[in-house]
Amino acid sequence: MEWLGLQLFADLPTSGQIVLDRHHDPLLILLAYAVACVGCFATFDMAERQRHSEPGAAQRQWRLLGACCLASAIWAIHFVNTLALQASVEIHYDVSLTALSLLIALLAAWLAMTRLDNTATRPRQILQAALFLGLGIVLMHYVGMAALQIGAHQHYQGGLLLASVIIAIVTSLLSLLLAHYLRSGTGILHLVKKCGASLLMAAGVLCTHLTGMSAMTLVIPADAALQLPTEDNSLQLSLTIAFITLLISASSISAALADKKLQSKEHDLRRVNLLLGQLDQARISLQQAAHYDALTNLINRRGFNLIFDERLAEQAANQGMLAVMFLDIDHFKRINDSLGHAAGDELLKVIAGHIMSATRNEDVVARFGGDEFCILTRLNSHDEARHLAQRIMQRMKEPIDLAGRRMVMTTSIGISIFPDDGCTSEELLKHADLALYQSKGTGRNNLNFFDSGLKIRATLELQLEEELRAALLEERGLCVHYQPIVDLRTGKVSKLEALVRWQHPQHGLLGPDRFIGIAQANGLITDLDLWVLRRACSDLAQLSRHGQADLRLTVNCSAQTLGREELASEIEMALLQLGLDPHHLELEVTEHALMGDIHSTIDLLRAIRAMGVALSIDDFGTGYSSLAYLKRLPLDILKIDRSFIKDVPTCQEDREIVQAIIVMAHALHLKVVSEGVETAAQREFLTAQGCDYMQGYLLSHPVPLTDLYRILERLDTPLRELNPCCDIALPESLDLVAENLGFHASASIARQAH
Ligand code: C2E
Ligand code: MG
Ligand code: MG
C-alpha cells in the first residue's frame, strides 16, 4: 500500500538496489532523548498546573503550554533522529510535510492534555486519549518520514510498522496514566517519580521512532548511483531544534514553578483569611457570651455598662435626659423554692419577653442576674419614665402559665434620672438600686424615683448595720423589753413577750422597726434572735427567783432563724443553761417565716414542740397562710394582728373578721392572743368573743426588766376591777363570715372580700 510516497506493508521490489549503508549518529539520538525527557517533564508539570488552575483562561493557557511541550518533545525526537540518519543517498526535506507533522504532533498533544484536566477522568477516556496520542505520534512520524526527499523508495515492513504503532499507543497510555497519577503531590519523591515518568515516556517515543526506522528499507532504482554520506548541516539543525525545544520546556517549567509558588502563596493567603474569619467568628461568639445573658438573650451587666457609658456621653453632649430603671420580681424566690429552678428559668424568659414588649425598640433592656433587670431609656420628662414603669408593671400582671399553674407576678421598680440624680453610670445605678430598695420596703409592686432622702437613709442604715454588728459582738447597747400578756379568763398576767431594743449612743432607744430589717438584710438576725432568747431566758430565771415562777416567756423568731436546723438544740441549750422548764417558753413565728420550705419547717417545729416549747403564729392575718396550712402546722397559739383589733369598736367588718378568726382558731384547737389592745372597748369585745389572751398598751407598754416588777404588781389586781365589762352586741352573721373565709381562704383575703 502506498501512502504519501511510502510503501507500507508492501513487498520489496524485485529490481532495484537496497541501501545498506545506513546508520544513525548516536550522539544525536542521545541528544534527542535528553531533549524529549525535558519536554516530557515539562508536560507533566503543565498537566499538574492545568489541574490546579481555575477553569477558564488560566487552564487553557496551561493546556496550550503543555501541548507545546509534548508536541515539541515528540517532534524533536523524530526530527533530530531523522537528522541523525546517515545513508548513502541525498536527503532533503519537504517543508510543508514537515510542518504538517509538527501540526499533527500539536493536535495529538492538545487532545491528550484535554483529558488530563479532570480529576474524575474515566479509564475509557484515558484509553481514548492514549489511542489519539499514540496514533498521533505514529502519524507524525510517518508524515515526517514522507517529508524526506531522498532518491529512494521507503518500503516498510508490516510487522515492525505495527509494532511501532503498538509501542506508540502503549507508551501514550502509560504516560497518560502516570500523568494522571502524578497530577498532584509535592516533595522530592514526587519530583523523582515525575523524572522517572519523563524518562519512560521519552524512551517510549524514542522506541516508536526507532522501531519505525527499523521497519524502513530504502530502495533506489537499479541504475541510480549510490552516493557517499555527505557532511551536511544536520548537526547544526539538530542542535537548533533541541535548543528551541529546551527553551520551550524550560520556560514552561519556570512558568509552572512561578505559578506553583504563587498558588501556594495564594493558598496560604486563603488559609490566613480563613483563620482570620474563624478568629473573627470566635471573637463575636466570645463577645456574645461576655455581653449577653444566655437564658433570656438580653444583654448582661457588662454589655449594659458599655452601652450605658455611650448613651451617657451622648446625652451629656445633647443635654438630654436618661432614666435608669431597676426591676426586681416580687417573691421570685418562692417560685424557685416551690416549683424548682427549671420553672424559675422558664418564668424569667417569659418575664423578659413581657418587659421587652412593654419597652420601645431603642430602650436598652438587660438582665443583671437572678430576677434583677435593668432598663435604660431616653426621656423628655420624668413622667415618661413613670409611664414606662407603669406599662411594665401592667404588662407584668398578665397571668403566666407555668408548670401547670397560672400565676400573676408583680415587680418592684426603682428609677434614677440623668442628670438630676447623678452623672456617672455607677452613681445612677446605685441610686436606682436605692429607689428599688424603697419600693420593696413599701410593700412591693411599687415604683419609686430616687430622692436625696433615700441616700441619707441608706448611709444611715449602713452605719447602723456596722454599729449593730459591733453591738452584737460586744453585747453592748442591746436590751430586751417585756410586754405582759393577760389571760382573759383569769385576768392575770400569764406571759411576757420579749421585744428587743437598742440603746444607741447617738439616736437613743431604738425600736426593732429601726434595725430588724437591717439585721435581716445582712445576716445578723439569727445572732440577734439567739441573743434575745438567751437574755430573755436569763431574765425569766431571775423573775422566777423573785416570785414570778408561773410566767411564760414568748420570744420572736425570724424566718432566717427558723431556717436553721440547729435551732432546736440551741433552744434546748439556752433552757438547760438557765435551768428553765421548756413549758415556760413560747416561740412566735410569723406567717411569712412559715411560708418557706414547709416540710423542713414542720420537722423543726415538731422537734421544738416535742421539747415542750409552745409555738404561736404571730401577726396572723397579715400574710397569706391558708387554713389548710395552719392545720398541718404543729401550733398552739394564734396571735391576731393589731391591725384587726384597732378598729374593732367602730368597724363591723373587723369585728366579724376577729370573731371568725377566734372561732376557727378554736376549731383548730389553737388558743388566741389579741395584739395591740389599747381600749377597754376592744378588751370587752374580745372577752365576749371568747378570746383567750390579750396584749396591748391598755395593760402595759413593753418595759425593761427593772420596771416590770412594778407593772406586774399593778396588773395583779383582777381585770374586772380595772375595767368592768360592758355588753357588746354579737354580730348575727358569724356563720356567714366563717363561710366566706372558707377552709383555704386566708384571713387577709377574707378581709379584702369584706
Ligand atoms: P410583734 O412580735 O407583733 O410585737 C408586738 C409589737 O406591737 C411590739 O412592737 C409592741 O410594742 C407593739 N404593741 C404591743 N401592744 C401595742 C398596742 O397596744 N398598740 C401598738 N400600737 N403597738 C403595740 P415592737 O416592740 O416595736 O416590735 C415590733 C416587731 O418587731 C415585733 O412585732 C416583732 O415582729 C419584731 N421583733 C421584736 N423583737 C424581736 C426579736 O427579738 N426578734 C425578732 N425576730 N423580731 C422581733
Ligand atoms: Mg411577736
Ligand atoms: Mg405581732
Q: Which domains can be identified in the chain, with CATH numbers?
A: 2-258 (no CATH), 301-450 (3.30.70.270), 472-728 (3.20.20.450)
Question: What pLDDT, on a 0 to 100 scale, did the predictor assign at position 225?
Answer: 64
Is 678 a pocket residue for ligand 1 (Cβ < 6 Å)?
yes
Give the closest residue (by CA) to ligand 1 atom 8.
499
Considering only residues 262 and 230, tell me which one the structure prediction assigns the higher pLDDT: 262
Question: pLDDT category, 737, cuts 50, 70, 90?
Answer: very low
483 Cα–ligand 1 center, Å: 9
Question: pLDDT category, 543, cuts 50, 70, 90?
Answer: very high
696 Cα–ligand 1 center, Å: 10
- For strands 447-449 and 411-418, give the pairing: parallel
Q: Is the pLDDT of residue 183 over 60?
A: yes
555 Cα–ligand 2 center, Å: 7
Question: What pLDDT, on a 0 to 100 scale, did the predictor assign at position 705?
Answer: 95
Q: Do the beta carbons of residue 703 and residue 482 sit within 8 Å?
A: yes
Give the closest residue (by CA) to ligand 1 atom 28.
512
pLDDT digits (tens, 9 = 90+) for 667-677: 999 999 999 99
Question: pLDDT category, 23, cuts 50, 70, 90?
Answer: confident
Q: Indicate which atom in ligand 1 lies nearest the CA of residue 677.
A: 18
Is 558 a pocket residue for ligand 1 (Cβ < 6 Å)?
yes
- pTM equals 0.56
Pocket test for ligand 1, best of 468, 510, 556, 703 (most atoms within 8 A of CB): 556
- E strands, 635-728, are 637-640, 671-674, 693-695, 703-704
Question: What pLDDT, on a 0 to 100 scale, did the predictor assign at position 495?
Answer: 96
- What is the arithmetic mean of pLDDT over 246-252? 82
Most confidently modeled range among 46-50, 330-334, 525-529:
525-529
d(CA 203, CA 188): 22
Is 13 a pocket residue for ligand 1 (Cβ < 6 Å)?
no
Question: What pLDDT, on a 0 to 100 scale, did the predictor assign at position 741?
Answer: 33
Is 563 a pocket residue for ligand 1 (Cβ < 6 Å)?
no
- Counting ligands in written order, which one lies closest to the CA of residue 519? 1
Pocket test for ligand 1, best of 497, 499, 516 (most atoms within 8 A of CB): 499
What's phi and psi for 16, nearest 5 deg?
115, 170
Is 674 a pocket residue for ligand 1 (Cβ < 6 Å)?
no
Question: What pLDDT, on a 0 to 100 scale, did the predictor assign at position 389?
Answer: 94
- Cross-strand partners of 364: 376
d(CA 59, CA 430): 69
Q: Indicate which atom in ligand 1 lies nearest the CA of residue 500.
A: 38
Considering only residues 403 and 545, tell me which one the structure prediction assigns the higher pLDDT: 545
d(CA 683, CA 693): 10
Q: Is the peptide bond before 419 cis (omega within 30 degrees of 0)?
A: yes
Mean pLDDT of the chain: 85
Question: What pLDDT, on a 0 to 100 scale, did the predictor assign at position 537?
Answer: 95
11 Cα–ligand 1 center, Å: 139
- What is the arithmetic mean of pLDDT over 423-435? 93
Question: What pLDDT, on a 0 to 100 scale, did the predictor assign at position 726?
Answer: 34
Question: What pLDDT, on a 0 to 100 scale, did the predictor assign at position 617?
Answer: 93
Q: Is the pLDDT of residue 684 over 50?
A: yes
pLDDT digits (tens, 9 = 90+) for 483-514: 999 999 999 999 999 999 999 999 999 999 99
Question: What pLDDT, on a 0 to 100 scale, did the predictor assign at position 596?
Answer: 65
Q: Do the beta carbons of residue 49 and residue 113 sit within 8 Å?
A: no
pLDDT digits (tens, 9 = 90+) for 270-327: 999 999 999 999 888 888 788 899 899 999 999 999 999 999 999 999 999 999 999 9
Most confidently modeled range among 49-63, 113-127, 314-328:
314-328
Most confidently modeled range among 128-137, 388-397, 737-746:
388-397
Q: Is the pLDDT of residue 132 over 60?
A: yes
Give the closest residue (by CA) to ligand 1 atom 33.
556
Question: What pLDDT, on a 0 to 100 scale, did the predictor assign at position 674?
Answer: 97
619 Cα–ligand 1 center, Å: 9
Is 618 a pocket residue for ligand 1 (Cβ < 6 Å)?
yes
Most confidently modeled range among 443-452, 539-548, 598-607:
539-548
511 Cα–ligand 1 center, Å: 9
Look at residues 389, 33, 402 and name the one whose alpha carbon lies nearest to residue 205: 33
Q: Is the pLDDT of residue 468 over 80?
A: yes
Q: Is the pLDDT of residue 746 over 60?
A: no
Question: pLDDT category, 718, cuts 50, 70, 90?
Answer: low
> Would you tell me the crossing angle of helices 332-339 and 341-358 to the nearest 10 degrees?
150
Q: Indicate which atom in ligand 1 lies nearest the CA of residue 678.
A: 18
Question: pLDDT category, 730, cuts 50, 70, 90?
Answer: very low
pLDDT digits (tens, 9 = 90+) for 630-651: 788 899 999 999 999 999 999 9
Q: Indicate which atom in ligand 1 lies nearest the CA of residue 588.
A: 2
Is 483 a pocket residue for ligand 1 (Cβ < 6 Å)?
yes
Give the closest residue (by CA) to ligand 1 atom 43.
556
- What is the arithmetic mean of pLDDT over 518-536? 94
- Counting ligands in written order, which one lies closest to the CA of residue 592? 1
Question: pLDDT category, 720, cuts 50, 70, 90?
Answer: very low
What's the one-letter identity of residue 596?
A: G
